[in-house]
Amino acid sequence: MNKDIKYFGIDISHLVFDVTDSEGNYYQFKNKL
């Protein structure tokens, strides 16, 4: 596997969006209008 490539999973909802990367890191951000 190429170590220079990262994969991200993204889940977007009304209040927040969640991001998980291929290394298992998890981030959550608030949606602002």
pLDDT at residue number 31: 86
Query: Within 10 A of 13 (CB to CB), how many other CB atoms are there?
Result: 8
Query: Within 10 A of 5 (CB to CB), how many other CB atoms are there?
Result: 7
Burial of 17 (0-12, 13-18, 19+ CB in 10 A): middle
pLDDT tens, 1-33? 567 888 999 999 999 999 999 999 999 999 886
pLDDT at residue number 1: 58
Q: pTM here?
A: 0.66
